[in-house]
Amino acid sequence: MTNTSPAPLWRPDPSRVADARITHYQHWLNAEKGLAFDDYQSLWAWSVEHLEEFYESLWQYFDIRHSAPYERVLDGHHMPGAKWFEGARLNLAEQVFRHHEHEPERPAVLSRSELRGLQTLTWGELRERIAALAHSLRELGVGPGDRVVAYLPNLPETMVAFFAVSSLGAIWSSCSPDMGTRSVLDRFRQIDPKVMIAVDGYRYGGKDFDRLSVVAGLRDQLPTLEQVVMLPYLNADARLPGARYWDDLVREPAPMRFEQVPFDHPLWVVYSSGTTGMPKPIVHGHGGALLEGLQDHALQLDLGPKDRYMWFTTTGWIMWNAQMSGLLTGATICLYDGNPGYPDLGTLWRFAEETEMTFFGAGAAYFLNCKKADIRPGDWVDTGRIRSIGSTGSPLPEEGYRWLMDQFDDVMVAAISGGTDVASAYVGACPTLPVYPGEMQCRYLGTAVYAMGDHGELLDDEVGELVVTKPMPSMPLYFWNDEGGERYRDSYFDVFPGVWRHGDWIRITPRGGAIIYGRSDTTINRHGIRMGTGEIYRVVEEIPEVLDSLVVDLEYLGRESYMPLFVVLREGVALNEDLAGRIKAAIRDHLSARHVPNEIIAAPDVPRTLTGKKMELPIKKLLLGQAIEQVANPDAMANPDSIAFYSEFAERRGTAGRDRGDRD
C-alpha cells in the first residue's frame, strides 16, 4: 500500500471543532484527570492502552444514573467473558429521561410513514406512554428476564414498546413485518417469548400487506406465548380473537418506574445471519448498550439535544437499535416507515426538510441509488441545515463520498462500520477530523481494532481481517441457549484464540482512518440486511426440483453487489422461467425481498469439503478474481471435479464485467 496521503474532501471549520462534544470531553479529561492529548490518535491510543480508565471516564463524564455503585470497572482483558462494572445497578431507559425533564413539550420523536402523515411525540408524551404500557405489561405478568417480542414496523409505538420493556428489566427482540413466517419463527422460537406485540399489516411501495394470518400463525407456533398485543395499523378495525389491543394498554396513566438491574442484565436479543444453521440469538446487556450508545452517538457522531436525527432502517436491522440510542443524547429521533424509493427517491429528502433534520443516515446503497438516478437532495432539502450524513450497511465507495460532498454545503460524511454482534461501531466518524474519499475517519475510542494477517500479525496499511484485541462493554453477554458458550467462541474466536474476529476485510491507513473491503466470511449483507446462506438454503432446497444449492454475494468496495444462486436440479428438470420464478418467490415470501438473487444458474454440482461443508468462501473468492489454485485444494474436496464449472463461470463473467466497466 502507498503512504501517499490523498487530499481531504472536507475539513471541519474551527467553530465546529470547538463546539464538538468530543472536544468538550477532552477539556473535561484535562480538568478532571490532568490528561492532555495533541490529537485524536493520541487520545485513541490512551483509550485502548488504559481501557479501565477510559470507560470509567465515560461513566463519570456522562454521569450514568445508577442505584448501586460498581466495585471495579473490568475484571481483566480476557475474551470472551470479561466482566464490566460488577456491582452496579442501573436501567438504560432511565438514562433517556435525563434530557428535557423541564421541557416536556419538546419533540422527542417525529415520524411519518406511507400510512400516516407527519406526527410529533413530545418528551412528556413519550414518558407517559412508556409508563402506561410498562404498567399494563406488568399486569400481564411481564417481569425481569421475560422475553417480549415485536413484529412491528419502524413506528413511534415500537420505540415506546422497547423502552417500556427495558424499563421492566424484561428482554426485547424484534423482527420487521416484511420478514416471512419462517424467518421470524427461526428467531423468536429460540428465546421462548412470553408476549408478542404485532401489527395487522403495513404499506410498502404503495401496496398493502395484510399480516393478520401471519400473526395468528406465529401465535400458534410459539408455544410459550401467553399474550398477543395487537396494534391495528393497516386497518383500524383489524381484530385477532383473544388478543389485547394497544390503545387499551396505553390509555391509563401510571407512574414511571425503572427496574434496577445489573450492568450485564440482558437488554435485547438480536440475531446473526444464520450462515451455519439457525440464526444466532445474540444477547446484549443494559450497561454495555448504554455506554457504547452514548460514546458512539455523543462523542463520535456529535449528536446532542439540538439535533434531529434519522438513520433510515427497519426493526430487523441493528441500526434500529442504534437509532434508539440517539435519545440518550437528548436528540429528537426522526422515524420513516416505508419504501425510500416510493413514489421516488426524493421521499426521504422531503422528510428531512419537513422535520428540519440535522443528521441524515441510511445504507450506502440508498446514496448510490440516488447518485445513479441523478437525484439532487437540494431540490427538496436545505443542504446547509444537514450537518452530517451517516452511511453504513456496506462499504461506501469513493464516488459515493464525492457525490455527497457535491450535494451539501458543509457536511461530514459519517460512514461507520460495526455490527449486530456488538451493537456498536468499530470504526467511523469523528467531528474534529477531516474526511478522505472512501475512508472512515478513525477507530472508535476504547476499541482496539486492527487489521490482522493470516498468522496473527498486526498489519500496517495492509488489508487483513478486522479484529478487536481487547474487550468492549457491548460485546455479547452470551448466545441464548448456548450452554457452555461453545457457539459463541466458535463464532468470533475460532481463527485467532483470545482475539475477536469480526468477518470483514479492513485496512488501517497511515492517517489512522479505516477502509472496509467487504465480508471475509459468507454472510450476505444486502442493502444493510444481513442474512446467512443457511437461511436461503433451507427455503430453496424445500422446492422439490432443487437437490442442492450454493449462493454467494460479490459485494466488494467499489463494485455493485451481485448475488448469484447456483442450483443443482433433479434429473430431467430444466431451469425455466416458471421454476426460477418460484425460487425467487419462495425467498421473497419466506425470507426477504432484499435477498432475491440477481441471477439463478443451473449447476452440475456444489463443491464440498471432505467433511461435507459447502465451499462458499472459496467460490466467492474465485468469482472475485482469485486463481483456482489459490482458493481450493482438490485433496481437501469431496468432489474436486465440481469446481471446474465455477471456474469457467468466473472466466465468462469476468470478461463480461470488464466489458461493462469499459462502457461506464
Does residue 469 sit in helix, strand or coil?
coil
Q: Which grid coordinates belong to 251? A: 390509555
- pLDDT tens-digit map of 420-472: 999 999 999 999 999 999 999 999 999 999 999 988 999 999 888 999 999 99
pLDDT of 93 higher than 70: yes
659 band by pLDDT with thresholds 50, 70 and 90: very low
- Four-CA torsion 345, 348, 352, 357, nearest 10 degrees: -120
90 against 317, higher pLDDT: 90
pLDDT of 94 higher than 50: yes
Q: Please give the average per-residue pLDDT across 99-112, as a whole number.
A: 91
pLDDT of 3 higher than 70: no
Task: Write a three-state SS string for 583-633.
Answer: HHHHHHHHCCHHHCCCEEEECCCCCEECCCCECHHHHHHHHCCCCHHHHCC
For residue 664, what pLDDT is reported? 26
For residue 477, what pLDDT is reported? 98
413 band by pLDDT with thresholds 50, 70 and 90: very high
- Residue 351's Cβ-side half-sphere holds a number of Cα atoms within 13 Å equal to 33
- pLDDT tens-digit map of 318-342: 999 999 999 999 999 999 999 999 9
pTM: 0.86
495 band by pLDDT with thresholds 50, 70 and 90: very high
Backbone angles phi, psi at 167, to 5 degrees: -65, -25
Pick the range with the lowest mean pLDDT from 65-74, 346-355, 574-583, 628-637: 628-637
- Four-CA torsion 145, 149, 155, 157, nearest 10 degrees: -60
Which of 384-388, 393-397, 519-523 is most confident? 384-388
Cα(184)–Cα(278) distance, rounded to whole angstroms? 11
Q: What is the C-alpha radius of gyration for the chain, rounded to an integer number of angstroms?
A: 24
164 band by pLDDT with thresholds 50, 70 and 90: very high
Q: Which residues pair with 113 in a beta bridge?
A: 337
For residue 610, what pLDDT is reported? 60
- pLDDT tens-digit map of 33-73: 999 999 999 999 999 999 999 999 999 999 999 999 999 99
Average pLDDT across the chain, whole number:
92
For residue 452, what pLDDT is reported? 95
pLDDT of 547 higher than 90: no
Amino acid at 358: T
Does residue 556 sit in helix, strand or coil?
strand
- Residue 213's Cβ-side half-sphere holds a number of Cα atoms within 13 Å equal to 3
- pLDDT tens-digit map of 243-294: 999 999 999 999 999 999 999 999 999 998 654 457 899 999 999 999 999 9
Cα(262)–Cα(68) distance, rounded to whole angstroms? 9
Number of residues that make up the chain: 664
Cα 496 to Cα 303, 454, 460, 488, 503: the distances in Å are 35, 9, 18, 14, 12
310 against 548, higher pLDDT: 310
Task: Write a three-state SS string for 99-130.
Answer: CCCCCCCCEEEEEEECCCCCEEEEHHHHHHHH
- pLDDT tens-digit map of 374-383: 999 999 999 9
517 against 130, higher pLDDT: 130
136 band by pLDDT with thresholds 50, 70 and 90: very high
For residue 557, what pLDDT is reported? 55
